[in-house]
Structure 1
Amino acid sequence: MAMDIRTSNLTTPVTVAEYLFTRLHQIGIRSAKLKWVGSVNELNAAYAADGYARIKGIGALITTFGIGELSALNGVAGAYSEHIPLVHIVGCPSTISQRNGMLLHHTLGNGDFHVFTNMSASISCEQAKLLNPAEIASQIDHALKECWVKSRPVYLWLPTDMVEKKVEGERLKTPVDLVEPKNDPEREDYVVDVVLKYLHAAKNPIILVDACAIRHRVLGEVQDLIDKTEIPVFVTPMGKGAFNESSPNYGGVYAGSGSHPDVAALVEGSDLVLSIGSLKSDFNTSGFSYRTSQLNTIDFHSTHCQVRYSEYPGVKMRGVLRKIADRVDVLKLSKSPMAKVENQVAQNMDDSKTITQAWFWPRLGEYLREGDIVVTETGTPNFGIWETKFPPGVTGVTQVFWGSIGWAVGAAQGAALGARDAAQDKRTILFVGDGSFQLTAQEVSTMIRHGLRVTVFLINNDGFTIERWIHGMDEAYNDISMWNYTAIPAAFGASEKQASSFVIKTKEELEKLLTDKTFNEAKGLQFVEVFMPREDAPRGLKITTEISARNIARTE
Structure 2
Amino acid sequence: MTAGISIAEYLFRRLREAGLNAVHGVPGDYNLRLLDYVIPSGLEWVGNCNELNAGYATDGYARIKGIGAIVTTFGVGELSAINAIAGAYAEMAPVVHIVGTPNRSDQQNGVKLHHSFCRGQPGDYRIFAEMYEKVTVAQENITDVGTAAAQIDRVIRECLVQSRPVYVQVPMDMVDAIIPGTPLARVLDLSPALGDTTLEREVCDIILDRMKTSSKRFILVDVGTSRYGLSAQTDQLIKATGFPTATTPFGKGIVDETLPNFHGIHGTVGPHIFTSYVDSCDLIMNIGPAHSNVNTYYFATVPKPEVTITIERDTIHMGDRTWSVSPQRILRRVLETLEEDPLPKAVSYPDLPNLHQILQSLPPVNPTSKLTQDTFWYRMSSFFREGDIILTETGTASNGSRDFVLPKNTTLINSGIWLSIGYMLAATQGAALAQRHLSQSDNPLSKGRTILFEGDGSFQMTAQELSTIIRQKLDVIIFIINNNGYTIERLIHGPQESYNDVASWRFLEAPSFFGAEMADPSYPVYTARATTWGELGGVLARDEMRGGKGLRMVELMMDVMDSNDTLRLMLELWKSKKAE
TM-score by length of 2: 0.90
Runs (5+) with no aligned partner, structure 2? 24-41, 440-445
Q: What residue identity is the alignment partner of 2:294?
A: F
Task: Describe the superposition over 1:293-312 as per-residue Cα deviations: whole angstroms up to 9, x where unpaired.
Answer: 222221111131111x2231
Q: Which whole-Å CA distance do the structure 1 matches of 2:579 and 2:148 have between them?
A: 49
- The 3-state SS of whatever aligns with 1:96 is helix
- Give 1:261 shift: 5.1
SS at match of 1:89: strand
Change (3 A) 1:235 1:166: same
How much has 1:61 moved relative to structure 2? Answer: 0.3
Partner SS, residue 344 of structure 1? helix
Tell me if structure 2 keeps the 8 A contact 1:348–1:358: no
2:209 is aligned with 1:197: yes
Q: Which residue of 1 aligns with 2:38?
A: none
1:526-537 → structure 2 map (5 Å cutoff): 526-537=552-563
Is the Cα contact below 8 Å between 1:348 and 1:359 reproduced in 2? no
- Partners of 1:107 and 1:132 in 2: how far apart? 23
> Would the aligned equivalents of 1:286 and 1:547 in 2 still touch at CA under 8 Å?
no
The Cα of 1:315 is off from its aligned counterpart by: 2.3
Contact 1:245 1:392 in 2 (8 A): yes
Paired residue secondary structure (1:208): strand
Q: By how many angstroms is 1:288 displaced?
A: 1.2
Paired residue type of 2:295: N
* Helix, strand or coil at the partner of 1:237: coil
Query: Residues 345 and 404 from structure 1, CA distance in 2 versus in 1: closer, same or farther, beyond 3 angstroms?
Result: farther
Matched, 1:382 2:398: yes
Q: CA deviation at 1:333?
A: 5.9
From 526, 538, 542, the counterpart of 1:500: 526
2:125 is aligned with 1:78? no
- What is the CA deviation profile of residues 383-425 of structure 1, one whole-angstrom value per residue up to 9, with x for unaligned ones? 1011110011111111121100100011100000001112224
- Looking at structure 2, the residues matched to 550 and 88 of structure 1 have their Cα atoms a distance apart, in angstroms, of 42
Deviates more, 1:487-496 or 1:538-547: 538-547
> What is aligned with 2:494?
472
- Return the alpha-carbon distance in structure 2 between the equivalents of residues 92 and 258 of structure 1: 51
**Matched AA of 1:75:** A
Question: Is the counterpart of residue 315 in structure 1 residue 325 in structure 2?
Answer: yes
1:87 and 2:96 are equivalent in the alignment: yes
* Of 109, 113, 138, the match for 2:118: 109
How do 1:96-495 and structure 2 match up within 5 A? 96-110=105-119, 111=121, 112-255=124-267, 257-258=268-269, 260=271, 263-290=274-301, 292-307=303-318, 309-328=319-338, 329-332=341-344, 334-337=346-349, 340-342=354-356, 344=359, 347=362, 351=366, 353-423=369-439, 424-495=446-517
Greater shift, 329-338 or 25-34, is seen at 329-338
- Residue 220 of structure 1 aligns to a residue whose secondary structure is helix
> Do structure 1's residue 516 and structure 2's residue 542 form an aligned pair?
yes
Deviation at 1:46, TM superposition (A): 0.5
Question: Which of 3, 8, 15 is the matching residue for 1:17?
Answer: 8
Q: Is the 8 A contact 1:89 1:157 kept in 2?
A: yes
Distance 1:15 1:543 in 2: 58
Q: Deviations over 1:307-365 (max 9, x none)?
A: 1x223142242222222222244244644335532253753656561111122101110
Residue type at the aligned position of 2:101: C
Distance change (3 Å), C-alpha of 1:190 and 1:310: farther
Decide whether aligned partners of structure 1 residues 336 and 306 sit closer, same or farther in structure 2, where only a CA change above 3 A counts.
farther
Quick check: 1:544 aligned with 2:557? no
2:20 aligns to what? 29
Kept in 2, the 8 Å contact 1:50–1:414? The answer is yes
The amino acid that maps onto 1:327 is T
Q: Which amino acid aligns with 2:11?
A: L
Tell me the alpha carbon deviations over residues 241-300 of structure 1, each in whole angstroms, 9 at most, x when there is no partner.
Answer: 111111212111113x13625543443343311111111111111111127422222111
Give, in angstroms, the shift of residue 227 of structure 1: 2.7
Q: Aligned pair in 2 of structure 1 residues 266, 513: CA closer, same or farther (>3 Å)?
A: farther
d(CA) in 2 for partners of 1:335, 1:274: 18
> What is the distance in 2 between the residues matched to 1:170 and 1:291?
49
Question: 2:266·2:273 contact (CA, 8 Å) conserved in 1?
Answer: no
Q: Secondary structure at the match of 1:145?
A: helix
Aligned residues: 543
Unaligned regions of 5+ residues in structure 1, if any?
A: 1-9
Is the Cα contact below 8 Å between 1:300 and 1:317 reproduced in 2?
Answer: yes
Secondary structure of the equivalent of 1:330? Answer: coil
% identical equivalent positions: 38
Change (3 A) 1:295 1:476: same
Which runs of at least 4 in structure 1 moved beyond 4 Å after TM superposition? 348-352, 547-551
Q: Distance in 2 between matches of 1:299 and 1:554?
A: 32
Q: Is the partner of 1:323 in helix, strand or coil?
A: helix
Measure the CA separation in 2 of the matches of 1:258 and 1:214: 26
Greater Cα offset, 395-404 or 223-232: 223-232
In the TM superposition, what whole-angstrom CA distance separates every residue of 1:431-468 from its partner, at most 9, and x where no partner exists?
01001111001110000000001100000011111111
Comparing 31-40 with 79-88, which one deviates more in the overlay? 31-40
Which secondary structure does the structure 2 equivalent of 1:231 belong to?
coil
| Greater CA drift, 143-152 or 262-271 | 262-271
Q: What per-residue deviation string (whole Å, max 9, x for no partner) do you get for residues 98-139 of structure 1? A: 112111110011231010000000111000010001100010
Write the deviation string for residues 32-62 of structure 1: whole angstroms up to 9, x where unpaired. 4332100111000000000001100111100
Residues 43 and 73 in structure 1, CA contact (< 8 A), matched pair in contact too? yes
- SS where residue 274 of structure 1 aligns? strand
Q: Single out whichever of 532-541 and 443-452 deviates more from structure 2.
A: 532-541
134-143 vs 222-231, greater mean Cα deviation: 222-231
Change (3 A) 1:266 1:461: same
> Is the partner of 1:19 in helix, strand or coil?
helix
Matched-pair contact (CA < 8 Å) for 1:56–1:418: yes
Amino acid corresponding to residue 54 of structure 1 in structure 2: R
Provide the C-alpha distance between the structure 1 equivalents of 2:472 and 2:272, rounded to a whole number of angstroms. 44
Alignment match, 2:31: none
Q: Is the 8 A contact 2:270 2:565 kept in 1?
A: no
Distance 1:246 1:301 in 2: 25
CA distance in 1, matches of 2:363, 2:131: 48
**Partner secondary structure for residue 407 of structure 2:** coil
Distance in 1 (CA, whole Å) between partners of 2:347 and 2:254 is 21
Partner letter of residue 260 of structure 1? P
CA distance in 2, matches of 1:545, 1:88: 36
In the alignment, is the contact (CA less than 8 A) between 1:16 and 1:165 conserved in 2?
yes
3-state secondary structure, aligned to 2:220: strand
